Chains A and B, each alone.
Chain A
Amino acid sequence: MTDTRQRSFEDNDQKPMGFGRMLRKEDPRFVRGRGRYTDDVQLPGMLHLAILRSPFAHARIVSVDTSAAAALPEVKAVITGADLAGLGLAWMPTLSGDVQAVLATDKVRFQGQEVAFVVATDRYVARDALELIDVEYDVLDPVIDVRQALAEGAPLIRDDLDGKTDNHCFDWETGDAGATAAVFAKADVVVSQDLVYPRVHPAPMETCGSVADFDPVEGRLKLWSTTQAPHAHRTLYAMVAGIPEHKIQVISPDLGGGFGNKVPIYPGYVCSIVGSIVTGKPVKWMEDRSENLISTGFARDYIMRGEIAATRDGKILAIRTNVLADHGAFNGTAAPVKYPAGFFGVFTGSYDIEAAYCSMTAVYTNKAPGGVAYACSFRITEAVYLVERIVDCLAYELDMDPAALRLKNFIQPDQFPYMSKTGWEYDSGDYEPTMRLAMELAGYDELRKEQAEKRTRGELMGIGISFFTEAVGAGPRKHMDILGLGMADGCELRVHPTGKAVVRLSVQTQGQGHETTFAQIIAEEIGIAPADIDVVHGDTDNTPFGLGTYGSRSTPVSGAAAALVARKVRDKARLIASSMLEVSVADLEWEKGSFHVKGDPGTAVTIQDIAMRAHGAGDLPEGLEGGLEAQICYNPSNLTYPHGAYICVVDVDPGTAVVKVRRFIAVDDCGTRINPMIIEGQVHGGLTDGVGMALMEMISFDEDGNCLGASLMDYLIPTALEVPDWETGFTVTPSPHHPIGAKGVGESATVGSPPAIVNAVVDALKPYGVRHADMPLTPSRVWDAMRGTAQPPI
């Protein structure tokens, strides 16, 4: 199946009663400038907070003199790390169970680290006052080169941790080392390749910020903040700040993008709370672009060695990898506790192999903390890049077509559910049709012909393939928790007397279109039109508990919750219908939106009739309470495993080494498709991200630890001019354990596209004998690759 590529406003008039293409319900508010973001929150008497940040990557704080700043009449408070230490708030837990300084007390450990903050009557004075704070630093040698972090005599970063004597963060392994070694030993062909996935940044259009309003009389805290996980944040604030959880309300209003950047709790949020408690006034903190880029959650920063073993005719036998992971100054990775490397364990990809093994060492460096962010499905981005690059290296060595090599090694449909060699149970998949469709849309054979012909003329054209399988929708809660909070999500549905409804979610949209998708799920299940269903999210006082939106988990987890809660309501509606129609439940037939008597479609009651009866004065069946509502907490039994086949075509200018992405074909299989337009939108965005990472994005540092990507002039993100007209298609392999068969899709394209682009560029450079080139493939780096002088970017 392929999409017809037409777009028409008639789509919207069709108003599907359930799944199908419709324009997004939230868009009128956004396109008319009526979105309400954290920075739009204005409260009477509100003060403004600005944060003083470290100019150094590693330095001891000798003294902090705030007197000149505090003397300004407009300044209401100046708070330092020492002040917070007095309140027991100088340190806070990270989402990975490490600790992170809210404000530095002893040392600064990365450039941009929070040192002090000012609260003033407006944001200009607050910013100016920062210049009046005098901090004396004793500058220390920084650890910037990740390969040197564990070297003898490397400066110790985390001397705050008891007994810590080196920069080691954690070790982790998965798979079977012995069995893998045995397979490698007997294999005809072994290919190994060093790969770097550079540090990148999600760079959402809206930076992070919060407005804290602490009511000293009630002891109540109301916090508007840019968070993808309002409930988890509330629980953590209760643990850190000592304010009882029932007295904290976290509101995540409209978000201007998140991509994982808004999962962690940042010191700024905590500072705004402290600022409000100290001044007794509402306090707003909004970071600027540079602050966002230098201090908030980065992503990737993996140095990987990939090894692949195969037979001479291209049967892949085993994959092995060793990873050196840069976690920055604090381990601020947002990943389930038992998965310190996220879901990197799915690095065996879509292939049926005999053995696999991964060993990983994570280290601390004097760089910003973070690690899981940027639409990566908990490190699957790195895993997919590893496997899809190394498979291409194998194709290169075997002189085999990369499409044929993949087709030869796919897990077969009858092998699902498939237990991978690293212990992941792939729920469902049918890979070959997806791959074949992508090849057909691309005109793969013609492209290869064109390429061969161009090569005779010295023109550089490349075709790159990536075939990915993702694992998204964390939990189950038994295996997956963040700081003890199980990864499950609640959902509440209430049908009003007139048959309109409100559904309340624990997840929080950042642009994914939840207000539309979730209304469509409910509509599909109970036959109330999406327009008649209000979707409430992002406010802890008004939604059930759950872990939030990241790792493409909203549809797999909350989407399931929404379907099931709707079925619960429908079950109750059925009882009411049976009494209204005076037939037994068994004699009723459900047709989207109404029950009728079997064999007598004319004798029917609609869901609206039933809602009125549920709330009305008339009789209800014995023992049934009034009202028509239900609540659920959904604990997924497994992750969902979407897959996709991506093909990228590039042209490289042999004279300048400039890469032009000419075409990109993306065939996604995310199971049941709720709103194809929203899915395509997510895919388009993710593919654009992929172009950015493959060709230009990288947060780099100089040897002193200065961040060289502190503005969008220096940290490049792609524009419309770098991307082609996306060509999308789809196949549908429903998830067997998800109530509507849906799988996550939000991150698929970000995860799957970088290897396709890199593979295409490397393929274009084949006449130069190039087998690998690291991202970002800027013209200069491509030119180096052409001349055989390429160096890893870090």
Chain B
Amino acid sequence: MQVPAPFEYARATTVDEAVALMGRFGDTARLIAGGHSLLPMMKLRLANFDYLIDINDLHGELGFIAVEPGVVRIGALTRHRELLDSAELAGVFPIFRDAERVIADPVVRNRGTLGGSLCQADPSEDLSAVCTTLDASCVIRGPLGTRTVSMAEFHRGPYETAVADGEILTEVRFPVRERGGSAYAKVERRAGDWAVVSAGSAVWLDDGGRIADARVGLAAVGPNTTGIPEISATLRGEEPSEQVFTRAGEIAARSCEPATDQRGSAEYKRHLAAELTVRTLRTAVARAARGEA
């Protein structure tokens, strides 16, 4: 049994209380959501905090998936499993179901949350790549009120986010546009392992079937999950084709900054960035064309 260092523990019963507690304890405290990133680090004593503030009782307030006209809102405490199971969400953004199928294992998915995934800011976090792909924005609440930041601003580096001490991520918002399609693909060494590389694509077609807009998000190939504006620029206005996808793949390969590690060589990861970009674009376009979102 791996034993973490001593800490004190409180359970917040409202978002305001969580914010107040975080304000009181500052950087000696951490919120605990699913705990599946935080606790392993604490058990290995890679992270030690004096106070843990448990927000799991806020699931009523922060655990929701709201599909509304023009926007999908998902509460920060929504569990992986809820994201996986939601047919409504998959109807709008099939990328969520693609991704959730390959995130961790059922035990982790039962507890791990969207907010925890984004706030962990691990460069390999799959949901971060999904949120980047879908151009999400994050709603952050603090003692001074609520602010909204884009995904591009949210991640500040590995394990660093825009959420300040005393703040809490409450909600993530996803714009919904017409004739869109999305997909996610991941290469892993073994089921439940973190990505060697993963890629998400979202595509929106115009009435003539051309690409009106496209976004690609990659995980595990840089300090944060990256969106690649050059791909969007290149794809806009194009007729979807294998050649176009390949070009996007090439941009993905050269735009990322992978490192060689136990999961694979940098070169291989670049190759995967291209390969998975092509594969997900292909699927996303097919889904958009079929009107599957």
Chain A interface residues (CB < 8 Å from chain B): 123-124, 127-128, 131, 286, 288-290, 655-658, 695-696, 700, 708, 711, 713-714, 716, 718-719, 721-722, 778-780, 783-784
Docked Cα-Cα span, A202 to B14, in Å, equals 46
| A265 shortest CB reach to chain B, Å | 22
Does B47 have its Cβ within 8 Å of any Cβ on chain A? no
Query: Does the CB pair B190–A696 fall under 8 Å?
Result: yes
Does B44 have its Cβ within 8 Å of any Cβ on chain A? yes
Query: Does the CB pair A128–B6 fall under 8 Å?
Result: yes
Assign chain B's interface to a size class: 20 to 34
* Given A289-B2, A716-B193, A719-B105: 6 more A-B contacts, CB < 8 Å: A128-B6, A695-B189, A714-B262, A778-B189, A779-B187, A779-B189
Contact A783/B192 with A127-B3, A288-B2 known, Cβ cut-off 8 Å: no
Query: Does the CB pair B275–A124 fall under 8 Å?
Result: no
| A430 shortest CB reach to chain B, Å | 38
Query: Does the CB pair A718–B190 fall under 8 Å?
Result: yes
Question: What are 26 A-B residue pairs whose CB atoms fall within 8 Å in the complex?
Answer: A123-B3, A127-B3, A128-B5, A286-B1, A289-B2, A290-B44, A655-B279, A656-B272, A695-B189, A713-B193, A716-B189, A716-B190, A716-B193, A719-B191, A719-B192, A721-B191, A721-B192, A778-B263, A779-B187, A779-B189, A779-B268, A780-B263, A783-B264, A783-B268, A783-B271, A784-B265
| B61 shortest CB reach to chain A, Å | 32
Query: Does the CB pair A658–B44 fall under 8 Å?
Result: no
| B278 shortest CB reach to chain A, Å | 8
Docked Cα-Cα span, A572 to B105, in Å, equals 58
Task: Specify which of B187, B265, B269 is in contact with A658 (CB 8 Å cutoff).
Answer: B187
Docked Cα-Cα span, A530 to B6, in Å, equals 51
| B281 shortest CB reach to chain A, Å | 14
Task: Specify which of A288, A658, A711 is in contact with B3 (CB 8 Å cutoff).
Answer: A288
CB-contacts of B1-23 with A (<8 A)? 1-3, 5-6
Contacts of A695 in B (CB 8 A): 189-190
Query: Does the CB pair A656–B187 fall under 8 Å?
Result: yes
Does B131 have its Cβ within 8 Å of any Cβ on chain A? no
Contact A778/B264 with A656-B275, A722-B191 known, Cβ cut-off 8 Å: yes
**Which one of A656, A658, A780 has the greatest number of beta carbons of chain B within 10 Å?**
A780
The 3 closest A-B pairs by CB, nearest first: A780-B264, A721-B191, A127-B3
Does B143 have its Cβ within 8 Å of any Cβ on chain A? no
Output the nearest chain A residue to B266 by Cβ-Cβ distance: A780
Chain B interface residues (CB < 8 Å from chain A): 1-3, 5-6, 40, 44, 105, 187, 189-194, 196, 262-265, 268-269, 271-272, 275-276, 279
Query: Does the CB pair A713–B40 fall under 8 Å?
Result: yes
**Which one of B2, B3, B272, B279 has the greatest number of beta carbons of chain A within 10 Å?**
B3
Task: Specify which of B2, B265, B268 is in contact with A290 (CB 8 Å cutoff).
Answer: B2
Output the nearest chain A residue to B268 by Cβ-Cβ distance: A780
Docked Cα-Cα span, A123 to B271, in Å, equals 47
Contacts of B6 in A (CB 8 A): 124, 128
Contacts of A708 in B (CB 8 A): 262
Contacts of A778 in B (CB 8 A): 189, 263-264
Output the nearest chain B residue to A700 by Cβ-Cβ distance: B262
Contacts of B192 in A (CB 8 A): 719, 721
Docked Cα-Cα span, A206 to B194, in Å, equals 24
Contacts of A657 in B (CB 8 A): 268
Contacts of B196 in A (CB 8 A): 779-780
Contacts of B265 in A (CB 8 A): 780, 784
Docked Cα-Cα span, A298 to B3, in Å, equals 24
Query: Does the CB pair A711–B44 fall under 8 Å?
Result: yes
Query: Does the CB pair A123–B1 fall under 8 Å?
Result: yes
Output the nearest chain B residue to A716 by Cβ-Cβ distance: B190
Contact A719/B187 with A128-B6, A288-B1, A780-B196 known, Cβ cut-off 8 Å: no
Output the nearest chain A residue to B1 by Cβ-Cβ distance: A288
Contacts of A655 in B (CB 8 A): 275, 279
| A404 shortest CB reach to chain B, Å | 34
Docked Cα-Cα span, A128 to B45, in Å, equals 11
| A72 shortest CB reach to chain B, Å | 12
Query: Does the CB pair B190–A722 fall under 8 Å?
Result: yes
| B122 shortest CB reach to chain A, Å | 12
Output the nearest chain A residue to B2 by Cβ-Cβ distance: A288
Docked Cα-Cα span, A700 to B187, in Å, equals 21
Contacts of B40 in A (CB 8 A): 711, 713
Contact A131/B5 with A778-B264, A783-B268 known, Cβ cut-off 8 Å: yes
